[in-house]
Structure 1
C-alpha cells in the first residue's frame, strides 16, 4: 500500500484536506465551508469550533483503508487571524479574520506610534488585515478578554494544537503576518511590542515551518478520526504553502490565486518589500534549522471568489436550483451565462470593492459598483463583468512589480476559481500572460508537500514541488482581446479615481445610519 501525505487548510471560507502520494497523485480531497459572522458593519468573526467541526466532517468522510496510508500531516491556515486562549486552552473570543475592518483607528494610532526602524523590519505596511491592530482593538474594547488571554495562536496553530495536544507555537510566516515579528532577526520585535503595549509572553514561540512538532494524540484520533501516532509538521500560513502547490519556489516564478481573495505573487531570493507599502512580503516555508530559502511579494484584491459567490446568492437562485439537476455547480452554470456576453460586457464595469480593496490602494472604505448598466444588459453581462472586474483588480497591481524590477514571464493559476475555463481566459487576456493551471494547486496540496519535507522524504521545498506539481492546462492570451481589455481597463482606473471620494462619503454615511437588528451570518468559500 502506497504511503501518503495529508495536507489540511484552515482557510478563510472553509476547511479543505488533500491526501497525496509521494509523487503528488491526489488520493482524496474534500472541503467543508463554515460561516463568517458580521455582527456590525465592517466586522467579521469566526468560531474556531467551526474549524474543528469542518475538519472532523472531512476526516470522517475518508475511508479507513485510505487513512491507513497516512504517514505525515501538515496544516496551513488563513494568516493574521488571532485566537484568544486562556491557560486551559479555552477560546475567550471569536477569532477575527483578516477581512475584519474594525481596527482602522488602531492602524492610524500605530502608524504614529511605532518606531520607523522596527516597522521597516516587518517588510510590510500596516493595515487592518494584520493581527496587531486587531489585538489593540480587543485590548481597548474587551479588556477582560485581553486580561484573561494567556496565549495567542493563529488559526492553523490552534487546530494543530488540538491535534497534537500541546504546544503554544507558530511558524515564521504566520509570525510575519502579525506585524509583531522582526523579519531580519527572525524573532518577535521588542521595539514594536513595547510601543504597542503587547506583552511578549502572550505571543507563541516561533518554530521552523518544516519541523515535526508532535503526533496525533489518542484523544485527537477519536475526535477527528485520524490515525493515532502520525507525525505532525508545524506548517505555514496558506499564502506561503500556496507557492509549493503552484510550484513557484524559485526566483522569478509567479502565481495568481482565484479564491475568496485574489492574489498575484512573485517569488524572490531576498525580501523585496515595496517602499510605498502596496505589497505584502512573506517568507517561504522555512527549513528545519529555521532558514528561509526564499521569499515572495504579493498583492491582493479582497473580494475575488467572494464577489462571484455574493452574486450567486443574491441573483442566481435559478442556477443554484438547476445545478444538481444538470450535475454541475451553480458557478459552472454562471460561467455558461457569462460566455453568452461578449468581451467587455457591452460596457458594464464591475469594481470588486465589496469589503474595501487591497493592492494597490489598501482602502477599506472603497465600495463595490457596477457602472454602465442599461436596460439591454442581462444577467449574463453581470456574471461576465464580475469575472472581468476581478481580473482588472489583479492587473491594477502588476505595475507595482514592474517598479520593483520583478518581471513576470508567465503565471501559474491556482485556487477554486482557476477551475473555470471562462475565468482563466478572461484573466490571461486581461494580463496578456500565459497561464499554467496545476493539478491540486491549492494550499492543502502545498501543505501535503510540506509534510513530506518535514519527514525528509523531500530534501527541500524545491524537490517536493518538482516531484509533486503537475501542469494540467495552458491558457494563451489573445493579442486582440488583450488590446481591447486594455482600453476598458483605462476606464476601470478612471472610474476608481473619480469615485473614491464618493465611496468614502458613503462609508461615513453608512456608519452613521441606524444599524439593522438582524445579525446576518454570511458564508463564504475559500
Structure 2
C-alpha cells in the first residue's frame, strides 16, 4: 500500500508517493504561471491548478506502478489566503486570487482604522493585511460590485479542488483560520465579520477539521488518476502548519524557520493564542493543535534580486564553471565581517507581512559610506533577511508556552552554511537543519496517517526526519550583532512615517519610465 501527499503551491503543485514506511517512491510537480498584469495583481488560473493536481497524482501512481486499489489515502497541503468567487451554477467568476495580490491594501487600512482591525485579528487569528480573503472581499464589495453580487460561494483553491472531485463545498480549519473570516475560539465563521461583508455562512464552505476523511470520488477523475473511486481523501491543512509537522518541529519549544522565496517562523501550541499587538498569526493544525508565528515576504526573493542586479558578471562566470550562482554570492559575502562594516539593509522589496503587516514598507540600504563595496551590500542583504526574521522571533517568544528549545532551519537558504551560521549568530541559538525533503507533503501524509488511525499521533515523525550537524553561535559574532540590531530596529521604526509617502509616489509614477 502507498500514501500520496499533494501540495498545492503558489508556483506549482507537487505530488509525492510514499510507501507505508514513509520512504519516497515517486515525486512529480507541475508548474503554472502567476498572472501579474499589474504590480498589485497576483492571480492564477483555477483550471490549470486543478489539472495539475490530477496530472501529478496520475504521474506518481503511474511511475510507481501502484495498482488502483493500492493507494491507502491521498492527503492535501495547500497555500493559504486564496480566494475564488463562484456563481450559482458552480462556475468560477474569478481566477484564484493569491496571497500576493495587493489590490485591497486600502481596505486593510480601512479595516484597521474604522472597524477595529486589532479586534478582528484577535477573534480570527489572521492579521489585517491585503493577503487575507477578508481584505479581498472588502475590495470586491466596494470596487467590483457586480462580481460580488453575482457570487454565491466564496472559497479557496483547495476548496475548489475538493468541489470538483467530490461535488461538495468543504474547507478545513487550517485554511479557514487564515482567511480573517473564521473565529478561532468558536471554530465557526465570525458573525461580526460576515455582517460587515453583508454575507452569511451559506456563502461559504462547510468547515471541518483537518483530519476529515472524504469519500465518493468522481469516477471519471479517479480513472484519470489511476486510483480507485473508493480511495479516502484527507482534506489536510495549510502548507505552513504542515511544514512544521514535516520537519519534526511540533513539540513544545520547537521552532521552525523557513526561507524559500518568502519565509516564515512558526511553533506549535495546544490552544489558540493571539498577540496583543497583532504581529503574529494563529492558525489551526488540528482543532487541538495550533500554530503561531509570522510570515515574511522577503526571503530568497531578496537574494535573487541581489544576484540579478549586483552580481551579473560573477554569475556568468559561475555558469561557465558549472557553479551554483547563489554559492558564488555567499562566497563573496564571506569576504566581509559580520554586520558588514556598519551597512544595514532593510529587506522590504515586496512590502512586508510580519511583524509590521504593512504593504507600503520599502527596502533601503542605511549607513553607506565610500568604503563600502559590492560585497558589503551582498552580505548586508543576507543579514537583513535574518534581522527581519529575528524581529518576528522576538514577538513569538512572548506568546510561546515556554522557552525555545530547538531552532530548525529549512528551505532553500538552509543549503548555505554561511546563512545558517548567520542565523545561529543573530538569533544567539543553536540551529539544526532537518534532513526532511518535501516537508509539506510529508506533513500532509503524516496527518493522513493519524486521520485514518494508521498512527495514533505524530510522534513517529522523528524516525522519518534526520538532522545535519548543528550550527552553534560564535560569541564574537553575537556581540557585534547585538550592537547593530537595535540600530536596524530603530531606523525601521523611524521610517514608518514616510513609507506610505514613498509607496504612493511609486504607484503614481508606475509605468512612467523613459527609454
- Aligned match for 1:132, one of 131, 134, 142: 134
Kindly state the Cα deviation for residue 216 of structure 1 after the two structures are TM-superposed: 5.3
After superposition, the Cα gap between the structure-2 partners of 1:34 and 1:349, relative to the gap in structure 1 and judged at 3 Å, is farther
After superposition, the C-alpha distances for 1:22-71 in whole angstroms (9 at most, x for unaligned) are 33333334545433333334332232234345546645654724151643
Answer whether contact 1:114 1:196 (CA < 8 A) is retained.
no
- In the TM superposition, residue 334 of structure 1 has moved relative to its aligned partner by 3.1
1:94 corresponds to which residue?
95
Q: In the alignment, what sits opposite 1:148? A: 150
Q: How far apart, CA to CA, are the structure 1 residues paired with 2:105 and 2:150? A: 24
Q: Deviations over 1:234-262 (max 9, x none)?
A: 11111221221122222322111112322
CA distance in 2, matches of 1:144, 1:357: 31
Instruction: Please identify, of 485-494 and 359-368, the stretch whose mean Cα deviation from structure 2 is larger.
Output: 485-494
> Within 5 Å, which residues of 2 pair with 1:265-304?
265-284=266-285, 286=286, 292-304=287-299
Go from structure 1 to structure 2 and tell me whether the alpha carbon gap of 1:200 and 1:435 turns closer, same or farther (over 3 Å shift): same
* Closer, same or farther: CA 328–49 of 1 in aligned 2, 3 Å: farther
Where in structure 2 are the equivalents of 1:55-94 lying within 5 Å? 55=53, 58-59=56-57, 62=60, 64-66=62-64, 68=66, 70-94=71-95
Tell me which residue corresponds to 1:307: 302
Q: SS of the residue aligned with 1:401?
A: helix
- 1:422 aligned residue: 418
TM-score, with structure 2 as normaliser: 0.89
Alignment of 1:208-227 (within 5 A): 208-214=209-215, 217-221=218-222, 225-227=225-227
1:455 aligns with 2:452: yes
Residues 120 and 180 of structure 2 are in contact (CA less than 8 Å); yes or no, is this contact kept in structure 1?
no
C-alpha deviation, 1:441, in angstroms: 5.9
CA contact (8 A) 2:185 2:272 kept: no
On the 8 A contact 2:104/2:130 being kept in 1, the answer is yes
Matched, 1:354 2:355: no
1:502 and 2:504 matched: no
> What are the within-5 Å matches in structure 2 for residues 45-56 of structure 1?
45-52=43-50, 54-55=52-53
Deviations 1:77-99 (A, max 9, x none): 11111122234443221222222
Q: TM-score, normalised by structure 1?
A: 0.87
Which residue matches 1:248? 249
User: Which of 462, 465, 483 is the equivalent residue of 1:487?
Assistant: 483
Q: 1:330 matched to which residue of 2?
A: 325
User: 2:246, 2:461 within 8 Å by CA — same for their partners in 1?
Assistant: yes
* In 1, Cα distance between equivalents of 2:303 and 2:368: 18
Unpaired stretches in structure 1, ≥5 consecutive residues: 287-291, 519-526
In 1, Cα distance between equivalents of 2:321 and 2:166: 45
> Is 1:442 aligned to 2:444, yes or no?
no
What secondary structure sits across from 2:124 in the alignment? coil
Q: 1:23 aligns with which of 15, 21, 25?
A: 21
Q: How big is the shift at 1:130?
A: 1.5
Q: For residue 176 of structure 2, what is the aligned residue in structure 1?
A: 175
Structure 2 Cα separation of the partners of residues 316 and 143 of structure 1: 47
- Between 1:401-410 and 1:139-148, the stretch displaced more is 401-410
Contact 2:26 2:63 (8 Å CA) reproduced: no
After superposition, the C-alpha distances for 1:93-135 in whole angstroms (9 at most, x for unaligned) are: 1222222222133223334236987653223442222211101
Secondary structure (helix, strand or coil) at the match of 2:215 reads: strand
Change (3 A) 1:103 1:248: same
Q: What secondary structure is seen at the aligned counterpart in 1 of 2:180?
A: coil
| Residue pair 2:360, 2:500 contacting (<8 A) in 1 also | yes
Q: 1:409·1:433 contact (CA, 8 Å) conserved in 2?
A: no
C-alpha distance in 1 between matches for 2:503 and 2:124: 30
Q: Is the 8 A contact 2:294 2:354 kept in 1?
A: yes
Instruction: Give the secondary structure class of the aligned counterpart of 2:470.
Output: strand
Q: In 1, distance between residues paired with 2:119 and 2:133?
A: 19
- Return the match for 2:507 from 507, 511, 521: 511
Kept after mapping to 2: 8 A contact 1:22/1:468: no
- The verdict on how the C-alpha distance between 1:165 and 1:249 changes in structure 2, with shifts beyond 3 A counting, is same
1:524 equivalent in structure 2: none
Task: Say what the alpha-carbon RMSD is for the aligned residues.
Answer: 2.9
Q: 1:270 to 1:170 in 2, by over 3 A?
A: same
Superposed CA offset, 1:463-512 (max 9, x none)? 34344333234222212212222223223223213333332221121222
* Structure 1 pair 315–30 and aligned structure 2 pair: CA distance change class (3 A): farther
Give the SS at the match of 2:44: coil
8 Å CA contact retained: 1:323, 1:329? yes
Q: Deviations over 1:178-209 (max 9, x none)?
A: 11112111111222201232232221111121
**Higher relative contact order (CA closer than 8 Å, sequence separation 6+):** 1
Distance 2:328 2:17 in 1: 29
Query: How far off its partner does 1:295 sit?
Result: 1.5
* Kept after mapping to 2: 8 A contact 1:215/1:228: no
Structure 2 contact 129–353 (Cα < 8 Å) conserved: no
TM-superposed deviation, 1:215: 6.0
CA 1:242 to 1:399, structure 2 compared with 1: closer, same or farther past 3 Å? same
Cα distance in 2 between the residues matched to 1:9 and 1:130: 20
Distance 1:457 1:34 in 2: 34
Give 1:523's aligned residue.
Answer: none
Gaps of 5+ in 2: none
Give the aligned partner of residue 391 of structure 1: 386
Cα deviation, residue 390, structure 1: 0.6
| Residues in 2 aligned to 1:93 and 1:440: alpha-carbon distance in whole angstroms | 34
